Structure 1
């Protein structure tokens, strides 16, 4: 079911005409601008790639995540990501990496570096997947008391799990455990 609300840009008072529509995972349509997507990201198709302005582009992100992400592809003040709930911040961080919205990538990664202790396994998985050593360093110490099963379920790859096991062993040796 598609939303019956008018399709608008999520940026308040945006004067730019909508020329592409994004359909969220909940089937809500969000208005966007091909030129903005092209100029402010490296992950959306180029401005000339979508020719039909009535075309709908299906994406896997939630409506909330897409609305936040679209605020980073405008020449306006960006949202304060430090005020976002944990899962919303992580979802935005993942979407910003997927679509390579650099302004959102840096805002989210900096915030995650200082809040990784709140959700260390998800932060660690994100950091390993996208190569943020500072976030890995911030999150890893808060995961050493987690069970192997919990961490294995939370991390995205075997290499991340092996890195975690190495970190846990170093931690345990430092405290005289086996």
Structure 2
């Protein structure tokens, strides 16, 4: 016997589209807000016939992502743990949730800028100021930036990755980035 779980934040009785997270939580949203704020969710022409649209993201990720769909103050994600931020950033890009894309890009860029780092800090120039960059999450942020074409973030996260062996970097670089990495940074 399976009991349907519904999101506490996204359970509107007048919602006209339902999404099912990978961990089987239902999110009920208004199509008009999805159409206005997203590029990749079902439009009015796409009839769901009351069915739940399955998504590959978990409920925790969707709970944050869908907060960017409605016309209200959006979360700033400052205190969001990196693992969740990373998942939300990927989902925002995947579903083109425009407001979330911008906030996530900014947070992903800032996540590795740590003014009180104790782990082999590197001094970098960012936003008109010198900041200390800690080595935490460089590879994950670099992969995110590379995947979504954020060259500025790639440039900021690349220096600490120069010590990573080329064969290991080749596993994460796209074919388009292997030659520039091997010739330009080595």
State the TM bucket, normalised to the shorter chain: 0.7 to 0.9
Relative to total residues, which structure has the larger helix share, 1 or 2? 1
- Any unmatched runs of 5+ in structure 2? 113-134
Aligned to 1:158: 175
Report how far residue 15 of structure 1 moved: 6.0
1:58 matches 2:66: no
Say how many residue pairs are matched: 164
Secondary structure at the counterpart of residue 4 of structure 2:
coil
- Any unmatched runs of 5+ in structure 1? 170-178
1:41 matches 2:38: yes
1:10 matches 2:15: no
Once residues 109 and 84 of structure 1 are traced to their aligned partners in structure 2, the CA distance between those partners, rounded to angstroms, is 13
**CA, structure 1 residues 120+166, in 2 after alignment: closer, same or farther (shift >3 Å)?**
farther
1:92 matches 2:88: yes
* TM-score normalised by length of structure 2: 0.77
Relative to total residues, which structure has the larger strand share, 1 or 2? 2
* TM-score normalised by length of structure 1: 0.80
- Using CA pairs under 8 Å that are at least 6 residues apart, name the structure with larger relative contact order, 1 or 2: 1
Once residues 13 and 32 of structure 2 are traced to their aligned partners in structure 1, the CA distance between those partners, rounded to angstroms, is 10
Q: Deviations over 1:147-169 (max 9, x none)?
A: 334433444x2223333334431
Aligned to 1:138: 156
Task: Give RMSD over aligned pairs.
Answer: 2.3
Asked if the contact 1:72/1:104 (under 8 Å) is kept, the reply is yes
**CA, structure 1 residues 77+129, in 2 after alignment: closer, same or farther (shift >3 Å)?**
same
Once residues 121 and 162 of structure 1 are traced to their aligned partners in structure 2, the CA distance between those partners, rounded to angstroms, is 18
Moved over 4 A (4+): none
